[in-house]
Amino acid sequence: MTTSGREHIQLLLDQPREPGMVVSCYADTAVAEGFEAHWLQPLKEEATRIRRGLAAEDHHPARREFDLNVEAIRRALESPEARQARGMAVFSAVGRHFLLAVHSDTPFENRLVVDEVPYVVPLVEAYIRQRGYLVVVTDTHRGRLYASRAGGSRLLDELEEDVPGKTRASGETWGKQQATIDRHRKDQILHFHKHLAERVDRACRESAYRGIVLLGEHEVLEHFRDRLPGRLARRVVYEGPHAWTDPEAEIDARVRALIGAEQAAGERRVLDELARRLGEGCAMAAGPQEVIDALRDGQVAELILGPDPGAAAFRCDGCRSLFADERADCPYCHAPCHKGNLWQEVLDLALSHGIAVDLVRDTSGMARYGGIAALLARDEPQWAGAPGAESSTEMAR
């Protein structure tokens, strides 16, 4: 059994589409009254329903394969390790000798899914919601980067450069000397902040965060924020005073308070911004195919998803193009297309390219768009498309 992480999600997303079934199980492993696990009865009922749909005969190969997968999942859910977790996601494909059990700090809704590939949307959603913040503590010549979440902070990186302290010139040439000293010091601070911004950029590319927190003196933070690329500066959710000698426990306390307040405010913020851009008719994409096209073209700054409705998407086996409408063959390379889950496909694209994902529960303003939208970058695309690539709209003309 392992704890949910980005590498486990990618392992599941990279599972090839092969003959045979993959059974994905999500379970609430908290103990109910009478010491019976919450998952036991709901998953029994779900397994019975799926078994009936596979075949009427007990000896049918698909039914036997399903039963073997369910038995492997049951053993994982009854293991001593599972009792320490509040939620479990178990993926079994006995025909491929594949089994992965992932535990979570939060319970899952009990569910069984049978497909040719693992169903990872609830696992990705849990990962996104459990993400912490990238905390940057800095002054004029020192910086620390922390990965901080409700459970605590972990030091990721440190940077220190030789920046001269404030000094005063004297003598007859005081004015000219002082200007030179001040200019040299500002240049050194600027150089340090440039390097620190590069470290922040690298950290955000290596892992996904809910946002960026800046701690330090107000004047220093103002100058440092100016050194961040626009796509990172827009992700700063909090700035606050912090002395270099303050304990890490203070960082943890701030992040815990921030998580509680920002979850509700963050959903409202992104929905308000989407509504404003919808009204302007610019810098946004709404609806499955529009969002797919924007993701492919590297225009998406934030992906916005409501609860997974189970909508289908069709992925080309050849050029890997993705379509929201049914396709037997790809119109570009004529390779066959396979049906998949739309939410899973777009989440895979977003995670692969380090795009922020906002999960919203209030989808009333997005219902007409199928619960999927995106805020587009107003500056340069985050990555370039293939040379000579055209949008699907242009290619379909």
Do residues 69 and 93 lie in contact, with contact meaning Cβ atoms separated by under 8 Å?
A: yes
Do residues 304 and 254 both lie within one domain? no
Q: Is the pLDDT assigned to residue 33 strictly greater than 60?
A: no
pLDDT in tens, 225-269: 999 999 899 889 889 999 888 888 888 888 777 776 777 787 888
Most confident of 47-61, 143-157, 346-360: 346-360
Residue 275 inside a domain? The answer is: no
Asked whether the beta carbons of 316 and 335 are under 8 A apart, the reply is yes
**pLDDT score of 88 more than 60:** yes
Instruction: Quote the mean pLDDT of the chain.
Output: 85
pTM of the model as a whole: 0.68
pLDDT of residue 361: 87
pLDDT tens figures, 211-230: 899 999 999 999 999 999 99
Which CATH number does the domain housing residue 51 bear?
A: 3.30.960
**pLDDT attached to residue 3:** 55
Residues 57 and 182 in one domain: no
Residues 164 and 89 placed together within one structural domain of the fold: no
Asked if residue 189 is part of any domain, the answer here is yes
Residue 300: predicted pLDDT: 95
Q: Report yes or no on 138 lying in a domain.
A: yes
Q: Is residue 208 part of a domain?
A: yes
Residues whose CB falls within 8 Å of the CB of residue 121, separated by 6 or more in sequence, listed in order: 308, 341, 343, 344, 347
Range of lowest pLDDT (183-192, 325-334, 336-345): 183-192
Q: What is the DSSP string of 24-88?
A: EEEEE-SB-GGG-BTTHHHHHHHHHHHHHHH-SSTT-HHHHHHHHHHHHHHHHHTSTTGGG-SEE
- Give a yes or no: residue 78 inside a domain: yes
Domain check: are 103 and 45 in the same one?
yes
Assess whether 298 and 373 both reside in one domain.
yes
CATH code at position 184: 3.30.420.60
Do 117 and 136 belong together in one domain? no
Instruction: Identify the domain containing residue 361 by its residue range.
Output: 283-395
Burial of residue 188 (number of CB atoms within 10 Å: 0-12, 13-18, 19+): middle
- CATH assignment at residue 317: 3.30.1330.30
User: 85 with 103, same domain?
Assistant: yes
Same domain for 202 and 217: yes
According to DSSP, residue 329 is labeled B
| pLDDT bracket for residue 330 (50, 70, 90) | very high
CB contact set of 67 (below 8 Å; sequence gap of 6+): 51
- Residue 179 burial (CB count, 10 A): 11
User: How do the residues of the chain divide into helix, strand and coil, expressed in percent and rounded to 5?
Assistant: 40, 25, 35
Domain for residue 223, yes or no? Answer: yes
Please tell me whether residues 199 and 209 are part of one structural domain. yes
